[in-house]
Amino acid sequence: MIGPHEVHEILHQYQMAQEVLDSITASHPLFSSSMLEAERELGDGVAYESGYERLKQETQRMQAWLNRRTIMTADTCRIAQATIEESLYLQDKNNVYRFYQMLKVEGKRGSAGRMSEVLAELSGGTTRQFLLGHGCKGF
């Protein structure tokens, strides 16, 4: 049986095997949405549904932290990126697949800047100001 730990490790292996994704693996981008997709693909509907509900709550909690500015300045961009990643997944589960494709095809520079750039592009540009306002640079 494949559990959450195994899925997590498989995601690490996938990201480390891709040259353009290797530099972002340590920051765990796309892990919540990727794990949900893996559970869904494996047919684990119970884990998927409970994880989906947790993801909605987590996204709201991170947005509240950003609004109240209750997180350390060094973590602000990472939390802003995660909030957008998860919000985009909640809008359309296919966004996680699009995100990986965009990173792989177009990735040429630093991981944080590339992450912000892809998030802004995937959202149709609507998140660019949000990311800039939360310390994300390089795009």
**Exposed e or buried b per residue across 17-45, where buried means at least 16 C-beta atoms within 10 angstroms of its C-beta:** eeebbebbbeeebbbbbbbbbbbbeeebe
- Domain assignment of residue 118, yes or no: yes
So what's the pLDDT on residue 92? Answer: 95
Output the pTM of the full model: 0.80
- Domain assignment of residue 139, yes or no: no
- Domain assignment of residue 138, yes or no: no
- Domain assignment of residue 76, yes or no: yes
- Domain assignment of residue 97, yes or no: yes
So what's the pLDDT on residue 20? Answer: 61
Q: How far is residue 1 CA from its own chain's centroid?
A: 26
- Domain assignment of residue 16, yes or no: yes
Q: Is the pLDDT of residue 105 over 70?
A: no
- Domain assignment of residue 50, yes or no: yes
**What kind and span of H or E run contains 8?**
helix 4-17
**pLDDT-above-70 percentage for the chain:** 75
Residue-wise pLDDT tens digits, 11-60: 667 666 766 666 666 566 778 888 888 888 888 889 899 999 999 999 99
Quote the domain boundaries for residue 65.
4-133
